Structure 1
Amino acid sequence: MIRLFHVSDVHFGAEDPAAIAWFGERVAAEAPDAVVMTGDLTMRATRREFQRGGDWLRSLGVPVTLEVGNHDIPYYWDPFRRLFAPYQRYAAIEKMIERELDLPDVTIVPLKTIARAQWRWNWSKGRVSRGSLRRALAMIDAAPKGNLILVAAHHPLIDGGAKGTGRTRHGDSALTALAEAGAHAVLSGHVHDPFDLPVERNGRTVRMIGAGTLSKRTRHSPPAFNEIRIVDGRFETIARTMGKEPQQVISADTEHPRVR
């Protein structure tokens, strides 16, 4: 069995110290094969926040791959840095960003969904560019045949798994293309609540899996992360939450094996 801990939206600068400690304890006690972080490691993309977040991820002692979220680039009031040097402060986490993980029969494919600027007021929402989708599809094509393909993005590609929204431009068509290419699930964050939503696309089922938050910015659920258990190419998602009900299976794959 392969066990992944899927965590998102830690928001260093607005993190929940108790939730951070709880997650670290679970990693130390259960030793997952890897941690997949789907963005918003920081709150305001400051060097101090990246340093603290990077130190925390390294302290976990397991392989980590990290996708960048909308809070991980400078805010609108720093337009020059946002537009021309958005990644300047990443030194503390650079080696973890979209890091390739060595997992048997599993491939993690990064998909960038943030944008420095958009033709709409709310730049925090998602966008899948042609280049980002093309790179993801190429990685899926290059993956060993029969591997389970998990795409890691920050924004959910379509809405519906939670009350929060990603409103990801070109996300719907990107989801169709990823499903047709052989992706089995898209892991995301942004909405701060866990979900696992199966979506049918041209005869294939691709699952939209969202993680909760370990920050103080909770919405409809307590601090949470996902545990993804993979056995013989099939997988289930378990929402691990702080509180009286610490875990709940929110979806189990019983019909769709990994073979593409």
Structure 2
Amino acid sequence: MIRLFHVSDLHFGCADEAALDWFAGAVAAERPDAVAVTGDLTMRARAAEFEAAARWLESLDVPMTIEPGNHDLPWNPISRLLRPYRRFRRLERHLEKPLDLPGLWLVPLKTTARAQWRHNWSWGVVSRRSLDAALTLLHRRPPDAVAVIAAHHPLVDRDDIRSRGRTLRGQEALAQLAAAGAGAVLSGHVHDPFDAEIEAGGRAIRVIGAGTLSQRTRASRPSFNMLTIDGGRIETVPRTMG
């Protein structure tokens, strides 16, 4: 049995210190097999925010994979276009890292973009290159493992969630990922947890969203998800800070 803690939207610079301590305490006490961080480590992509996020994440001392979020890209146009992920340097070994654990094959899918033709650059984008990379990894899935995708933006929006990812080419990507054998897609961005099985391309696939550990809460208090993978099944338990 594999236990995966799924956490998102830390927003260092606007983090909730009590929520961070609560999550770190759960990791220390329960020692999950891995932690998946689905983006927005920072609030404004500042160097000090990345440094604080890196110190905190490294202190967890567990295997980890990290997706970039839209808040993690600099707004300086030159930096954004030429070196958008340079401040991840300290965490580079965890950035978009596939996880191969007994019974779990976790595949990263980048949904951030340096620039878009749309006015709101916080929305998600699935590029052909990112999708091809994810599909290539999916085809390498061990036969006895559940394949899970980790992205920042939800690939499709939900009526019961106030915020929207409006992910460009997300529906088509979800269908292709489902056809390639993905069992679930983890995401963040909307700051409220959700878990549903939906149909994509004629196949069933789970979409699982994590809340936030920041002060930028919406309908829910700070939270994270605990996923248990056992015998080819995924069980999700959302944990909310009391």
State the TM-score, normalized to the length of structure 2.
0.97
1:24-103 equivalence runs, <5 A = 24-75=24-75, 78-103=76-101
Other-structure match for 2:10: 10
**Contact 2:3 2:228 (C-alpha < 8 Å) held by counterparts:** yes
Runs of 4+ in structure 1 off by over 6 angstroms are none
- 1:100 shift after superposition: 3.0
Provide the rounded CA distance (Å) in 2 between the counterparts of 1:110 and 1:183: 12
Other-structure match for 1:256: none
Please give the secondary structure, in 2, of the residue aligned with 1:215.
Answer: coil
Provide the rounded CA distance (Å) in 1 between the counterparts of 2:32 and 2:109: 23
Other-structure match for 2:184: 185
Q: Mean alpha-carbon deviation: is it higher for 196-205 or for 90-99? A: 196-205
Please give the secondary structure, in 2, of the residue aligned with 1:142.
Answer: coil
Please give the secondary structure, in 2, of the residue aligned with 1:169.
Answer: coil
Other-structure match for 2:222: 223
1:134-191: CA deviation from partner (whole Å, max 9, x where unpaired) = 1100000011123100000000000016221100000000000000000000000000
Other-structure match for 2:115: 117
- 1:236 shift after superposition: 1.1
**Contact 2:43 2:49 (C-alpha < 8 Å) held by counterparts:** yes
Other-structure match for 1:176: 175
Please give the secondary structure, in 1, of the residue aligned with 2:4.
Answer: strand
- 1:86 shift after superposition: 0.9
- Residue identity opposite 1:61 in structure 2: D
**Contact 1:108 1:150 (C-alpha < 8 Å) held by counterparts:** yes
- Residue identity opposite 2:34 in structure 1: A
- 1:85 shift after superposition: 1.6
- 1:199 shift after superposition: 0.9
Other-structure match for 1:163: 162
- 1:107 shift after superposition: 0.6
**Contact 2:175 2:203 (C-alpha < 8 Å) held by counterparts:** no
- 1:102 shift after superposition: 3.5
Please give the secondary structure, in 1, of the residue aligned with 2:23.
Answer: helix
Other-structure match for 1:246: none
- 1:99 shift after superposition: 2.1
Which runs of 5 or more residues in structure 2 are unaligned? none
Provide the rounded CA distance (Å) in 2 between the counterparts of 1:117 and 1:186: 24
Provide the rounded CA distance (Å) in 2 between the counterparts of 1:128 and 1:18: 34
Provide the rounded CA distance (Å) in 2 between the counterparts of 1:146 and 1:182: 12
1:12-68: CA deviation from partner (whole Å, max 9, x where unpaired) = 111000000000000111111100000001111112111111111110121111011
Q: Mean alpha-carbon deviation: is it higher for 119-128 or for 96-105? A: 96-105
Please give the secondary structure, in 2, of the residue aligned with 1:92.
Answer: helix
- 1:91 shift after superposition: 1.5
- Residue identity opposite 1:132 in structure 2: S
Which runs of 5 or more residues in structure 1 are unaligned? 244-260
- Residue identity opposite 2:209 in structure 1: G
**RMSD over aligned Cα, in angstroms?**
1.0
Provide the rounded CA distance (Å) in 1 between the counterparts of 2:117 and 2:127: 13
Other-structure match for 1:250: none
Provide the rounded CA distance (Å) in 1 between the counterparts of 2:201 and 2:47: 44
**Contact 1:125 1:167 (C-alpha < 8 Å) held by counterparts:** yes
**Number of matched pairs:** 241
Please give the secondary structure, in 2, of the residue aligned with 1:59.
Answer: helix
Other-structure match for 2:211: 212
**Contact 1:67 1:97 (C-alpha < 8 Å) held by counterparts:** yes
**Contact 1:47 1:90 (C-alpha < 8 Å) held by counterparts:** no
